[in-house]
Homo-oligomer: A and B are copies of this chain.
Amino acid sequence: MKTCYLHPHKFSKVMKINRKKFFKGLALATISTPFVLRTFIGKSSAQAGDNQSPNVITNKKYKWKMVTTWGPNAPILGDACSYFADLVEKLSNGRMKIHIYAGGELVPALQSFDAVRNGSAEISNGASYYWAGKNPAFQFFATVPFGMNTQQLTAWLFQGGGMELWRALYADYKVIPFYSGSTGVQMGGWFNREINSIDDLKGLKMRIPGLGGRVLEKAGGSAVLLAGTELYTGLERGVIDATEWLGPYHDYLMGFYQIAKYYYSPGWHEPGTALEFSINKEKYEALPKDLQAIIETATYQAATWFSTKMEAMNAEYLQKIQAEGIHPRFFPQDVLDALKGYTKEVIDDLVQSSPDGAKVYASYSAFRKKIIPWSNLTEKAFYNRLQSSPDNG
């Protein structure tokens, strides 16, 4: 059995956000409602359409179900799913409608991949590291600590063989992945104490999932399992000393600035997390060729919308957080360097225990090695040499 690198509650990162609505909805949210909405979709769901030629257009209608790992009305994350569904309907001239289920509505959030795999939903939105329990190699398609940022990762996925590897690994599950945007470099998290040296992480109880949590443990900390709904009070009451989340926009909505003084950058554990649409292979291949193309192309527009929206909203909410008196600081460099050393151990473990992990990492790290000199010559030089800066980062 493969090691599970995944926190079961990682998904809850984006469960509900507005704290007022959140507490109101809490009772409801804890009631399991996995199947009540299933009857929404009739039996006329996706079926084969194989008589396509360029001159024949059928009016056959498709109704698809999208399950997601996000909570109801999750800002930007859920919005991107609606944006995608609306777009597919428009592009297909109404031939395809996609109904979206938040995590827990049709199936529990972390069963989204399996729901697509077994055909109870046609498509899901989430991130590949949520399924790392199935194959730890999946994590390279989302993000790994001290790995590539968005620009580098997308170059690898689309032009460096990454997507081909991703699709080959998901094919074992009869699922096809599509890139659906990136969070950009995340923040390093909220702390109730200053981090001045690597020793300050010893005994630190932090909510940090996945490989980042394993790295923290190598530094002597504890990676704590807490659902998103429990974070605010957990941090307030000292159940945890720190938590990572996403970036200023989502973090602000969670209210962390009210209870934690120290907001650290950069998110060494998630330097640009790629999200995914995953689609049941059989259902997809049964679609007319033009509808297949429509779905794939729509993922690109949704991805651009998502990535740019994250940047714009984080920029805006960074100002709001600063207006609350919280001024983000950088982790000391020796702390980052130590964490980077532990990350190497964690990745080495992964690669040694997983042949798929070794194969994907070989491609990932070769591309990374090739693009770093180019990134340093251009993007890094842009930030350091061209861009005037009120915030000398």
Contact = CB atoms under 8 A, between A and B. Distances in A.
B93 A288 contact: yes
Nearest to A91: B293
A193 interface: no
Contacts of A52: 93
Interface stretch (A62-70, A105-113, A356-364, A369-377): A369-377
In the complex, which of the residues A55, A146, A381 has the most CB atoms of chain B within 10 Å of its own CB atom? A381
A58 B317 CA distance: 47
Contact of A91 (B57, B266, B271, B297): B297
B91 A290 contact: yes
A150 interface: yes
A382 B375 CA distance: 11
Q: Chain A contact residues: over half helix, strand or loop, or mixed?
A: helix
A94 interface: yes
A271 B378 CA distance: 8
A371 B87 contact: no
A139 to B, nearest CB: 17
A293 B298 CA distance: 10
Given A290-B90, A293-B91, A309-B159, A384 B375 contact: no
Interface string A74-107: 0000000000000100111110000000000000
A11 to B, nearest CB: 23
Interface stretch (A19-27, A167-175, A385-393): A385-393
Contacts of A6: none
A312 B333 CA distance: 29
B155 A265 contact: no
A278 interface: no
A380 interface: yes
B385 A336 contact: yes
Contacts of A333: 385
Interface in A312-340: 312-316, 318-319, 328, 330-331, 333, 336, 340
A308 interface: yes
B382 A266 contact: yes
A144 to B, nearest CB: 12
A133 interface: no
A303 B386 CA distance: 25
Contacts of A92: 290
A297 B301 contact: yes
A1 to B, nearest CB: 32
Given A300-B300, A333-B385, A155 B266 contact: no
Interface of A: 52, 54-55, 57, 59, 87, 90-94, 146, 149-152, 154-160, 184-187, 247-248, 265-268, 271-272, 288-290, 293-294, 296-298, 300-301, 303-305, 307-309, 311-316, 318-319, 328, 330-331, 333, 336, 340, 369-393
19 contacts: A91-B91, A151-B151, A154-B304, A155-B308, A156-B312, A247-B378, A265-B381, A266-B377, A297-B300, A300-B301, A301-B301, A312-B371, A333-B385, A369-B390, A376-B389, A379-B383, A380-B383, A380-B387, A381-B393
Closest 5 CB pairs of A and B: A54-B94, A376-B393, A185-B378, A159-B312, A380-B383
Given A271-B386, A300-B304, 15 more contacts: A55-B59, A57-B57, A87-B297, A93-B290, A150-B151, A151-B151, A152-B311, A155-B315, A185-B378, A265-B378, A266-B385, A294-B294, A333-B385, A340-B386, A376-B392
